[in-house]
Structure 1
Amino acid sequence: MATIKDVAKEAGVSVATVSRVINKSPKASRSSIESVTKAMSKLGYRPNAAARALVSQSTNTMGVLVGDVSDPFFGTLIKSVDNVARENGKHILIGNGYHNPDDERQALELLINSRCEAIIVHSKGLPDEELIEYAKEVKGLVLINRHIPQIAERCISLDNKKGAYLATEHLIRQGHRKIACIASSHQIEDTHARLQGYQAALLDNGIELTKSYIEYGEPNSDGGEVAMTNLLTKSVEITGVVAYNDYMAAGAMATLNQNGIDVPEKVSIVGFDDGLIARYVTPSLTTVRYPIEMMAERAARLALSLSRGEELENETAIYSPTLISRHSVSRA
């Protein structure tokens, strides 16, 4: 592989001259630009991005840390960040954290070492104290779907408890009192907040149910199938179900259908997120909208503004979920 010294030798110039040409220095003469460009083409030399970053103090990249890029929710998040990046002439680097502290730490360190100007972080594994330290180190770091009071001005989050409360309350208003909850088996903040919202809605409406009405599963369609199967196996009387997300709701609907239980005639169900799948399952899914596109765009713009050292108003961005009524809920 050709080196910068090889290019200098081929072009008949100094290494410093090659460096000036690569970094588009105004001190580079037209003749040196031509000879160096010709030599790089002949030798197949590609400038080292990290070396160029050391000179320019910029890589024109933004970093994004998500749970799992294969999850459509995170795909939507990444797309929104990428749109903002492209508007600003930048590219994005993506790291997967899988809600695991070691994986999140490793991915975040890689993004920082890659000299990303701004980093949008969806972290569920790392403790608050560690994320606060990262925020001190990287001025363009913004958290999404996480609220830490000490760095509230850098947090874009959703009121997950309110979202689950809305979902449960909607079923109650339709006359349902035997309402099960299909929760995520991942021990993260979102799981706890949505479970609290479900329980708070029951309590506020004078409904007492045993723990048998709560089942856990992986936050995907397979997990929804397993959780719904377990609920049916326990023979608890159910007329409504609140699911952790739309994919778990879709899996639960499949299990109900396989067992001859019609939705919503026999069991009504509400999802969470309002992803694409909510509109295309049959019947279409009543769900809680998670405005992830709007939140990700705001997080990206905030991260860029912070990285530029722009003056910002210290305001907390906690978004409110909204209920989207479709056809998976009917009166009890």
Structure 2
Amino acid sequence: MVTIKQVSEKAGVSSATVSRVINNTGTVKEKTRERVMTAMAELGYRHNVVAASLASNKTHTIGYVVPELHGSFFGAMMGGTEQALRQAKKHMLIATGHSDAQIEKEQIDALLSRRCDALILHVEAVSDEYLVSLVHQGVELVVVNRFIEEIGDNCISLDNVKGGYLASRHLLDIGHTKIAYIAGSLFKADGKNRLTGHQQALADMGVEYTDNLTYEGNFQAKSGTEGIRALVARGAKFTAVACANDEMASGAMIALRELGRRVPEDVSVIGFDNVDFASYLSPGLTTIDYPVQKIGSMAAHWVLERVYGHTRHEYQHILSPRLILRGTTSSPE
């Protein structure tokens, strides 16, 4: 087996310099780096990750728990994380919690048993108290898309109340007063907070909130379609519909067209998240921007700074959403 000492001798540098090149730490001149890389290739050197982790007490692996793997939201978030970690030569181990408290706990335990140096957690069912207890036990973790005041420094999330407010306030500002709302799962913090924002916008404009105009979906496109059908079946009258995410908004638009209602001429529709496909719908979906890839990247940099001592990057604990105007909203006729 080729050793670091053999690489250093061939490259004409110290073993410490070879180690810095392998681990991408410290400052190494580009010409020196190239010389080391050439020597490694010629000798067939392969870095022994297991031996290195035992020596340093670091595996250079970050565990990542997300609710599910399908959908553009989680892909964009994990993509932002993976890119930042890859550039730092760290690895990501992904597990799914399926929005079930027991499964989330099992996945967290499994990742910790594999000696992950830190965890990035997009968990929806475990309690705040459970996450706080992990931090107090010394587990290095950052929670995304959820803010817990007691461990606020370990959280990176969006102001979902403000986002829900911006969406419905836009509809109110252009003249709508009969606004249906298709909520995400209300046991989830983001679903509940976005509905709260909707209710606050109505109250600020003197419009009464009614349960008859609200349908609880599950953040999946199908529940947006089902939501419109259910609202119409119960006799709800509305000129606009605010949806708690873009997937449900796209499902709502399908149902409205099936019912012969034009978007936005008959019914305005606004979504939330600003995922990639939102701009490709016809018409393009007016929505609330959730910089999900940026949040994924910020979570990675949080880990790189706290666990590995990398240079500090700018990150926020609560990001502010913004309105993205496209073609699915207009004033009521």
Q: Structure 1 length normalisation: TM-score?
A: 0.82
Indicate the residue corresponding to 1:12 in structure 2.
none
Query: RMSD over aligned Cα, in angstroms?
Result: 2.6
Instruction: Report if the CA contact (8 A) 1:76-1:292 is conserved.
Output: yes
Indicate the residue corresponding to 1:120 in structure 2.
120
Instruction: Report if the CA contact (8 A) 1:247-1:277 is conserved.
Output: no
How do residues 45-60 of structure 1 correspond to structure 2 at under 5 angstroms?
53-60=53-60
Q: Give the secondary structure class of the aligned counterpart of 1:109.
A: helix
Instruction: Report if the CA contact (8 A) 1:152-1:316 is conserved.
Output: no
Q: Give the secondary structure class of the aligned counterpart of 2:265.
A: coil
Instruction: Report if the CA contact (8 A) 1:139-1:307 is conserved.
Output: no
Q: How many residues align?
A: 296
Q: Give the secondary structure class of the aligned counterpart of 1:119.
A: strand
Indicate the residue corresponding to 1:251 in structure 2.
251
How do residues 111-260 of structure 1 correspond to structure 2 at under 5 angstroms?
111-260=111-260
Percent identical pairs in the alignment equals: 36
Shift of residue 281 of structure 1? 1.3
Instruction: Report if the CA contact (8 A) 1:268-1:328 is conserved.
Output: yes
Give the Cα–Cα distance (whole angstroms) in 1 for the partners of residues 6 and 140 of structure 2: 31
Give the Cα–Cα distance (whole angstroms) in 1 for the partners of residues 6 and 126 of structure 2: 46
Indicate the residue corresponding to 2:294 in structure 1.
294
Indicate the residue corresponding to 1:65 in structure 2.
65
Shift of residue 55 of structure 1? 4.0
Instruction: Report if the CA contact (8 A) 2:272-2:290 is conserved.
Output: yes
Shift of residue 207 of structure 1? 0.5
Instruction: Report if the CA contact (8 A) 1:178-1:209 is conserved.
Output: no
Distance 1:149 1:310, change over 3 A: farther
Q: Deviations over 1:69-122 (max 9, x none)?
A: 112211111111110111111121001111211111111111111112232111
Which amino acid in 1 is paired with 2:202? Answer: L
Q: Give the secondary structure class of the aligned counterpart of 2:58.
A: coil
**Which structure is larger by alpha-carbon Rg, 1 or 2?**
1
Give the Cα–Cα distance (whole angstroms) in 2 for the partners of residues 321 and 69 of structure 1: 24
Shift of residue 196 of structure 1? 0.6
**Tell me, which stretches of 5 or more residues in structure 1 are unaligned?**
1-20, 31-45
Give the Cα–Cα distance (whole angstroms) in 1 for the partners of residues 66 and 122 of structure 2: 5
Which amino acid in 1 is paired with 2:69? Answer: V
Shift of residue 283 of structure 1? 1.1
Deviation larger for 224-233 or 119-128: 119-128
Q: Give the secondary structure class of the aligned counterpart of 2:143.
A: strand
Q: Structure 2 length normalisation: TM-score?
A: 0.82
